[in-house]
């Protein structure tokens, strides 16, 4: 499989009380054509900022982003248009993702027009994409305005807008967290279908490992701006290598009768974490912290084929 | 014997388009010393119920019928002053965002003292001791009573609002989506605090949530709400393993599980009905793949099945067969 | 097309719920009608010197023939007030349009683009807000030739910062909305985002500031004319007041001459104020909740 999107050393920092604080520090990732990558972590871990940098919505402080081998890190304005046509975003809040004054049709025409698809072909594109997101018959929906639609219907329109101009990559930031429970599965299935039938690559951002597992074969776990572990989703959940991943997996509630109610392998709270300086950012909450965790900042290293983690315990603990 | 027993409760909101029955003929029993999960999607009336019980409905909302028996009294018929006297002492509330319970410009100690002294009539010295004990109980350092809410993280604020809710030793605590805004690790920790306190203090608790997994983790009993009514209720294990209502069956296949197992999720097509003009029969019938003419004609009552497990469904007798059909995506796609 | 046809309904619903705005809007409506049909509604030619027999009909009191009496030069006051609406509206609408156009454009640019554009616009606005209105206009009138052009220029040049500031803050919050980001992702140019996506959202607010600017412009025109810097050839309420003042209408107790143009000016300014009060609820629903 060919590499579609590659990022190396992505960093976003801002100055706070005279010190550089990293919202995202040294994140590298590769997404192959047609593959799905999950980025999971708690709020403030930098997952959304990472996604925004990958989509060139925010400029990285350092690092490079390559799309199909071409460096797009410094492109702006019109020069970015070909990339925009290929990389689309599905928003978290469908109630805010569509211009309230635009009809559904106008919202769908917007990308077609901007990406230079001839006006004569618009109707066919719209019809096809509405069918793909199951808003049928299309004519019944196109002249409505966002406030006339439910959350699930709006998210279908948002997905349609992302798909209409033929992207190669979809980034979905918490695509169902604002939706009613009974319609979530429908949206997740649409995303999965679109990927399968169009061969799209996808990046899912979520705090919900269960959702990530359903839609992504590979997953990256972020903690305070850094990637602490990455690997195939099922393996990462079954045998977490990093203590933070282990805590995250153990904390996810399951809708089953048998429950694991053992205390979480984690101490303190996120607010105890060191904001800057050397050492592992997780050490203050890690039940296995050692003296060297305070001094050495560890890069990701191989745990098993295709699996990497940033922890001194790697290979020792299980 | 239930601590709280709700019968045929109706809560109506006045809206421009007409009256909206957010809760419409609801029956619910909350046994003492247990956690009852109230689960349903947004707009099903689960939060309205909590607010109606606490007497904090918004201006446009009114209880328009039914009975709420709590500790031998009917709350609906109680005078306003008697209700005020009872609230917080016998029944208290934990809101979704702790910021709604906490005053941002007051130290936590001040807020704690206010509840203890003014509502509870506790002396100042006792209030001091009690506040510290409450903070310790929810896993907060009593030193931090001197802090303002903004100095706390989200999880700590939620712990503080739990401490505030428990200040006067109520027998019933209503928690409205107490962990929805929290990250998974903090969510788990707060749920552990709630479970631990419930057991230690012999509390009854209503945990309002949209998340079946939270119910499975934290609750003893569950009541499933749909469009203003309870459609199924019973012990958590029974409802999860042998759901009797098609809506509950649908929900159990609509979520991914972190440990995998499902090939494909089965969505419930359609959307909940408008409460302005609900369908005449069973409210789930328009989305139900098993609906028969009878289901569209009249609304099924909540009836007891086996072992303390109730369901409001005309086809409850076929539940075993329906459950197997409900696991197949094709069943729901055709509804 | 739906949007266009829905607009009158939305406007009607809004006016029905907002008594303030409804009163303001009806005042504007009446004045507009008076201006359009002035030649039919006015009983006399406003410039004609009327006579009673052979004498000039000066200082006639209110009567059935002259509802508001006559001026010192024997002209019908009511007809002058009615014709004055034309000048008032011409000045008011032109100035309001320019104020809103400049203010909205600069507010939009500075709010959306930020950076240097924002700093320059904010800096300009601060300077302009420091300029005193009347002296600025009088100096300008003295340096050039007096007339409505000076009035319109002054109002436009000095009043845009109010509009720009409000539009800027509105744009700042709109810029954070997901659908604006969606416009970026779907390939919209910055110009398109600003003018196609964001601008329509701030237009109601701009119109509101326009309605206030109409009142301001009429007030400014009246002040300039009253102080003798107006265009004496124009038939405006300000010129009427100036004439009344110069002829000591006040000491003669001829209030039927100076009160009507004064009331007309007041009602215009009031109308703008009422509309803005009424729209507050519509534009800032959170404010109304509190």
Distance CA C186, CA C129 (A): 39
A185 in Cβ contact with B267 (< 8 Å) = yes
Judging contacts by C-beta atoms under 8 Å, the chain A residues touching residue C10 are none
Quick one: how far is CA C131 from the chain centroid?
Answer: 20
DSSP state, C76? Answer: B
Give domain limits for chain A. 3-309
Residue among A121, A125, A95, A96 at smallest CA distance from A108: A125
Distance CA B291, CA B289 (A): 6
Domain holding C27, by residue range, is 20-52+66-289
- Output B289 or C284, whichever has higher pLDDT: B289
Give how far Cα A85 sits from Cα of A60, A92, A112, Å. 21, 20, 9
Q: Can you give the pLDDT at residue C104?
A: 96
DSSP state, B125? Answer: H
Q: Cα-flanking dihedrals φ and ψ of residue C197, to 5°?
A: -95, -50
Q: Who among C185, C190, C201 is closest to A88 (CB)?
A: C185
Mind telling me how many Å the CA of A244 is from chain B's nearest CA?
A: 10
Q: pTM for the complete prediction? A: 0.86
Q: Cα-flanking dihedrals φ and ψ of residue A253, to 5°?
A: -75, 150
CB spacing of A55 vs C192 below 8 angstroms? no
User: Pairing between strand B221-226 and B35-39?
Assistant: parallel
Judging contacts by C-beta atoms under 8 Å, the chain B residues touching residue A255 are 212-213, 215-216, 240, 252, 255, 257
- State the CATH number of the domain containing residue C78: 1.10.3720.10
Mean pLDDT value across residues B204-214: 93
pLDDT at residue C16 tops 70:
no
pLDDT at residue C7 tops 80:
no
The ranges of chain A with pLDDT < 50 are: 316-318
Copy the structure tokens of residue B208: 């309002």
Mind telling me how many Å the CA of A271 is from chain B's nearest CA?
A: 7
Mind telling me how many Å the CA of B156 is from chain A's nearest CA?
A: 9
Judging contacts by C-beta atoms under 8 Å, the chain A residues touching residue C192 are 114
User: Pairing between strand A169-173 and A87-90?
Assistant: parallel
In terms of DSSP H, where are the helices of chain A? Answer: 47-54, 81-86, 104-114, 122-132, 139-142, 151-163, 181-198, 209-215, 233-238, 243-251, 292-295
Residue among A248, A223, A274, A239 at smallest CA distance from B186: A248
CB spacing of C188 vs A114 below 8 angstroms? yes
Domain-embedded: residue C146: yes
Give how far Cα B202 sits from Cα of A106, B175, B205, Å. 58, 16, 10
**Confidence band for C9, pLDDT divided at 50, 70 and 90:** low
Q: Can you give the pLDDT at residue A94?
A: 95
- What's the mean per-residue pLDDT of chain B? 89
According to the per-residue pLDDT averaged within each range, which of A291-295, B108-112, C218-222 is highest? B108-112
Copy the structure tokens of residue A290: 């050692």
pLDDT tens-digit map of C116-141: 999 999 999 999 999 998 888 888 88
Please state at what angle helix A181-198 crosses helix A122-132, rounded to 10 degrees. 120
Q: Can you give the pLDDT at residue C4?
A: 47
pLDDT at residue B306 tops 80:
no
Q: Can you give the pLDDT at residue A257?
A: 87
Report DSSP letters for B226-248, one per residue. ETTEEEEEEEHHHHHHS--SHHH
Mind telling me how many Å the CA of C11 is from chain A's nearest CA?
A: 16
**Confidence band for C289, pLDDT divided at 50, 70 and 90:** very low
Report long-range pairs for B273-278 (Cβ below 8 Å, ≥24 apart). B273/B227, B275/B20, B275/B21, B275/B22, B275/B24, B275/B43, B275/B45, B275/B227, B275/B228, B276/B15, B276/B17, B276/B18, B276/B19, B276/B20, B278/B21, B278/B24, B278/B227, B278/B228
- What's the mean per-residue pLDDT of chain C? 84
pLDDT at residue C81 tops 90:
no
C87 in Cβ contact with C235 (< 8 Å) = yes
**Confidence band for C19, pLDDT divided at 50, 70 and 90:** confident
Q: Can you give the pLDDT at residue A89?
A: 96
Question: In chain A, which residue's Cα lies nearest the Cα of B236?
Answer: A257
Choose, out of C10, C181, C184, C187, the residue to mutate when testing the contact with A (most A CBs < 10 Å): C187
Look at residue C50 and give its three-state secondary structure. Answer: coil
Domain-embedded: residue C156: yes
pLDDT tens-digit map of B122-160: 888 899 999 999 999 898 999 999 999 888 888 889 999
- The vertex-A139 CA angle with A135 and A144, nearest 5°, equals 80
Distance CA A315, CA A302 (A): 9
Distance CA C63, CA B10 (A): 68
Q: Can you give the pLDDT at residue C235?
A: 82
Q: Who among B185, B215, B265 is closest to A185 (CB)?
A: B265
Question: In chain A, which residue's Cα lies nearest the Cα of B185?
Answer: A251
Give how far Cα C206 sits from Cα of C101, C104, C196, Å. 8, 6, 15
Mean pLDDT value across residues C230-236: 78
Peptide bond into B67 cis (omega under 30): no
* Of the listed ranges A239-243, B19-23, B237-241, B330-334, the one predicted with least confidence: B330-334
Spelled out in words, what is the top-level CATH class assigned to the domain A3-309?
alpha beta
Quick one: how far is CA B270 from the chain centroid?
Answer: 24
**What ipTM was estimated for this complex?**
0.89
CB spacing of A184 vs B215 below 8 angstroms? no
Distance CA B11, CA B64 (A): 6
Give how far Cα C191 sits from Cα of A88, C97, C105, Å. 20, 22, 12
Q: Can you give the pLDDT at residue C219?
A: 85
CB spacing of C182 vs A57 below 8 angstroms? no
Question: In chain A, which residue's Cα lies nearest the Cα of C182?
Answer: A97
Between the two ends of chain B, the Cα-to-Cα distance in Å is: 40
Quick one: how far is CA A92 from the chain centroid?
Answer: 11
pLDDT tens-digit map of A177-212: 888 888 899 999 999 999 999 999 999 999 989 999
**Structural domain count, chain C:** 1
Q: Can you give the pLDDT at residue C6?
A: 59
pLDDT tens-digit map of B73-83: 898 888 888 88
Distance CA C200, CA A299 (A): 49
pLDDT tens-digit map of C95-118: 889 999 999 999 999 999 999 999
């Amino acid at each position: 499989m060919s590499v579609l999107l590659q990022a190396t050393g992505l960093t976003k920092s801002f100055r706070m009380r005279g010190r550089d604080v990293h919202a995202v520090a040294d994140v590298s990732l590769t997404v192959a054509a047609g593959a799905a990558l999950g980025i999971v972590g708690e709020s403030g871990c930098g997952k959304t900022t990472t996604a925004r940098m990958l989509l060139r919505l925010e400029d990285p402080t350092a690092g490079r982003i390559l799309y199909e081998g071409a460096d797009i890190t410094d492109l702006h304005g019109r020069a970015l248009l070909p990339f925009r046509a290929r990389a689309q975003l599905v928003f978290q809040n469908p109630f805010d993702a569509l211009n309230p004054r635009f009809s559904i049709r106008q919202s769908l025409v917007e990308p077609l027009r901007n990406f230079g698809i001839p006006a004569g072909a618009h109707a066919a594109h719209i019809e096809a994409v509405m069918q793909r997101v199951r808003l049928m018959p299309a004519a019944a929906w196109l002249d409505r305005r966002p406030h006339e639609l439910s959350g699930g219907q709006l998210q279908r329109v948002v997905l349609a807008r992302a798909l209409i101009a033929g992207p190669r990559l979809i980034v979905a930031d918490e695509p169902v967290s604002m939706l009613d429970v009974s319609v979530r599965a429908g949206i997740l299935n649409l995303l999965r279908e679109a990927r399968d039938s169009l061969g799209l690559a996808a990046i899912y951002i979520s705090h919900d490992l269960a959702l990530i597992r359903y839609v992504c074969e590979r997953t990256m776990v972020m903690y305070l701006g850094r990637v602490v572990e990455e690997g195939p989703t099922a393996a990462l959940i079954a045998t977490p290598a990093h203590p933070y991943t282990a805590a995250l997996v153990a904390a996810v509630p399951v809708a089953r009768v048998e429950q694991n109610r053992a205390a979480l392998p984690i101490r303190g709270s996120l607010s105890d974490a060191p904001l800057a300086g050397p050492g592992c950012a997780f050490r203050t909450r890690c039940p296995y912290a050692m003296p060297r965790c305070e001094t050495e900042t560890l890069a990701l290293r191989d745990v098993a084929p295709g699996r990497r983690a940033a922890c001194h315990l790697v290979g020792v603990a299980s | 014997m239930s601590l709280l027993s709700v019968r045929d409760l109706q809560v109506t909101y006045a809206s421009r388009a007409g009256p909206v029955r957010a809760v419409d003929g609801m029956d619910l029993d909350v046994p003492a010393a247990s956690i009852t999960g109230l689960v349903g999607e947004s707009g099903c009336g689960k939060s309205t119920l909590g607010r109606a019980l606490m007497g904090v409905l918004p201006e446009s909302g009114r209880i328009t019928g039914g009975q709420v028996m709590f500790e031998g009294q009917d709350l609906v018929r109680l005078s306003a002053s008697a209700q005020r006297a009872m609230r917080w002492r016998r029944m208290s509330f934990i809101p979704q965002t702790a910021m709604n319970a906490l005053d941002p410009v007051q130290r936590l100690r001040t807020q704690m003292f206010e509840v203890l002294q003014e509502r509870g009539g506790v002396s100042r010295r006792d209030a001091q001791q009690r506040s510290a004990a409450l903070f310790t109980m929810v896993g907060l350092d009593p030193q931090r009573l001197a802090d303002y809410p903004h100095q706390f993280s989200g999880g700590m604020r939620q712990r503080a609002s739990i401490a505030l809710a428990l200040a006067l030793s109520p027998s019933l605590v209503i928690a409205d989506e107490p962990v929805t805004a929290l990250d998974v690790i903090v969510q788990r920790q707060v749920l552990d605090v709630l479970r631990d306190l419930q057991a230690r203090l012999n509390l009854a608790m209503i945990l309002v949530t949209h998340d079946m997994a939270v119910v499975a983790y934290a609750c003893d009993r569950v009541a499933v709400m749909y469009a203003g009514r309870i459609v199924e209720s019973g012990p958590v294990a029974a409802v999860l393993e042998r759901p009797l209502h098609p809506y509950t069956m649908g929900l159990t296949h609509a979520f991914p599980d972190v440990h995998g197992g499902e090939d494909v999720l089965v969505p419930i097509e359609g959307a909940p009905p408008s409460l302005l003009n609900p369908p005449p029969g069973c409210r789930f019938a328009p989305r139900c793949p098993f609906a028969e003419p009878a289901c569209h004609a009249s609304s099924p009552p909540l009836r007891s099945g086996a072992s303390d497990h109730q369901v409001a469904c005309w086809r409850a007798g076929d539940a075993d067969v329906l459950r197997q059909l409900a696991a197949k995506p094709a069943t729901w796609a055709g509804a | 097309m739906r949007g266009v046809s829905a607009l009158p309904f939305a406007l009607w619903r809004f006016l029905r719920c907002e008594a303030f705005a409804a009163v303001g809007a009806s005042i504007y409506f009446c004045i507009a009608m008076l201006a359009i049909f002035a030649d039919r509604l006015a009983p006399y030619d406003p410039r004609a010197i009327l006579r009673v027999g052979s004498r000039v009909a000066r200082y006639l009191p209110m009567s059935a023939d002259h509802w508001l009496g006559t001026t010192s030069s024997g002209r019908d006051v009511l007809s002058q007030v009615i014709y004055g609406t034309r000048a008032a509206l011409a000045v008011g609408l032109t100035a309001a349009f320019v104020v809103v156009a400049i203010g909205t454009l600069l507010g939009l640019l500075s709010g959306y683009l930020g950076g240097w554009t924002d700093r320059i616009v904010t800096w300009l606005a601060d300077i302009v807000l420091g300029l005193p209105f009347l002296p600025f206009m009088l100096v300008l009138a003295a340096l050039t030739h007096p007339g409505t052009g000076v009035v319109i220029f002054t109002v436009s040049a000095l009043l845009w910062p109010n509009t720009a500031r409000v539009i800027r803050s509105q744009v700042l919050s709109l810029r954070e909305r997901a659908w604006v980001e969606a416009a970026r992702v779907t390939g919209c140019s910055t110009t398109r985002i600003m003018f196609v996506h964001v601008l329509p959202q701030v237009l109601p607010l701009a119109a509101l500031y326009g309605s206030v600017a109409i009142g301001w412009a009429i007030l400014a025109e009246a002040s300039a004319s009253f102080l003798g810097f107006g265009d004496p050839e124009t038939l405006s309420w300000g010129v009427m007041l100036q004439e009344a003042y110069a002829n000591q209408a006040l000491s003669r107790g001829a209030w039927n001459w100076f009160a009507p143009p004064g009331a007309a000016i007041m009602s215009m300014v009031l109308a703008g104020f009422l509309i803005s009060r009424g729209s507050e609820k519509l534009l800032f629903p959170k404010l109304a909740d509190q």
